[in-house]
Each structure stands twice: as C-alpha cells, then as structure tokens.
Amino acid sequence: MYLPNHFNAPSPEAIDALVKAYPLASLLTGAPEEPMGCLVNPVPMGLFEPLVKGARLWAHVARANPLWQHLEANPQAMAIFNGPSAYITPNSYAAKAEHHRVVPTYNYATVQVTGRLIAHHDPDTKRRIVAQLTDYHERHQPQPWSIDEAPADYMQAMLNAIVGLAFEVQSVKAKWKVNQNRSIADQKGVIAELQTRQDTPHTEQMAAIMLKNTLKNTQ
C-alpha cells in the first residue's frame, strides 16, 4: 500500500477502533487454481486485544467455503478493513476562492493486516469463537442474545457446518487519507461540507474522523 508519511494513522488506538467498528474484512488467501492466485472473501473478524504483532483475530467461515482448504500448504493471508470513505469536492476548499488550483479527491481510512491463518475444526474452539463474536456484537442490544438460547442439537449442527479461523498477526499497516496535506482552512471547509451532506452515512463518519485527526496542519 502506498503510504506517504502525512497519511499515517494517528495512533495504535485509532487503528484498533477502526477494526472493531468495521469488522467486515476482505480476507485474501492463496488459491493456486484461481486466475490471480488468491481468493478474496468478505469475513467478519473479531479483535479482542491490541492489534500488534503476535495478536490474533478470530473468525469462522462455512465448511463449504474453499478458503480454509489451502491453508495447510499456504497459511499466509491478508485482512483489509475499510473504514469510512467520502468524495471530496474542490468546492469545499478555501483555496478555491483564492486561486482555483484545486482538484477533487477521495478520503478514506483503511487497515491492512498480514499474518498466518489457521483453521480450527474442534467443536470446543469453534463454539468459543462463535460465542465470543456473538457476545461482542450483541453487547449493545437491550437483551443480548446468547448462543446458549439456541437448542443444543441445532447449535451443534451449525457448528458442524463451519470452520473456525485464527489469524496470527505479523504486520499492520494503516492509512488515514483525510486531507492532512491541506491547510487548516481547507480542512475546516471539507469538514463543514461533509457535515451538511446526506448522500451516504460515511460522510458524517468521515467528518468525525477528520475532526479527531486534522486541524493540526500549518501548511
């Protein structure tokens, strides 16, 4: 990933927060029979500790998914987590009124994690993975649902139909492209424009990210 220094993530905590808020990863795994030599699957992944080298992400996929079948030969994988993104119009820049030397851009925040992906088939590990992921995503429900509420035979059938995944982190790269290379006046203009737009939910989320991570630039 192309990563100029001014687009670095603001902190390890911001990276963790993005992965937790946008857990649906694009998971890349090797597959020699595919034209590009890899499979790309959307997979929700759980992070329950700081995202550093040696940490683990947890997930599961359908047993029918060929993703896990290549892992013994090639366990290397990449998980890509994409946060908010938004088109940025030149009309939002203060510089437009000064010299018109402005062009459109696109703001986004993304995290790329590489590591080893391990398949788990034993029922206890799969149940623990499913329970942990469920408890995390149900935590804001008025009455959080638990896997213990499902009939035991039904839950066992569901567990038999999946493969658990543990992603052992080897490296983390993150990019926050949120106008840090623009003047404070331009950043304020972008934030104000994003806060008034209603085209996608991401515009408000991008404005919030910019409020946390810009307005420190003196260019």
Strand order in the sheet with 46-47: 38-44, 24-30, 76-88, 105-120, 162-177, 56-62, 46-47
Chain centre to alpha carbon of residue 76: 18
* 216's tokens: 């420190």
Half-sphere exposure of 190 (CA within 13 A, CB side): 33
Mean pLDDT to the nearest integer, 106-126: 97
80-109 confidence digits (pLDDT tens): 999 999 999 999 999 898 898 999 999 999
216 — pLDDT class (breaks 50, 70, 90): low
Max CA-CA distance within the chain?
70
Annotation: CATH topology of 5-213: Pnp Oxidase; Chain A (2.30.110)
- pTM to 2 decimal places: 0.93
Q: How far apart are CA 127 and CA 171, in angstroms?
A: 28
Domain boundaries, the chain: 5-213
Identity of the residue numbered 176 = W
pLDDT digits (tens, 9 = 90+) for 31-76: 988 888 999 999 999 999 999 999 999 999 999 999 999 999 999 9
> Which token pair is 171?
């490296």
- Residues with Cβ within 8 Å of residue 142, at least 6 apart in sequence: none
Average pLDDT, the chain: 94
pLDDT, residue 13, reads 96
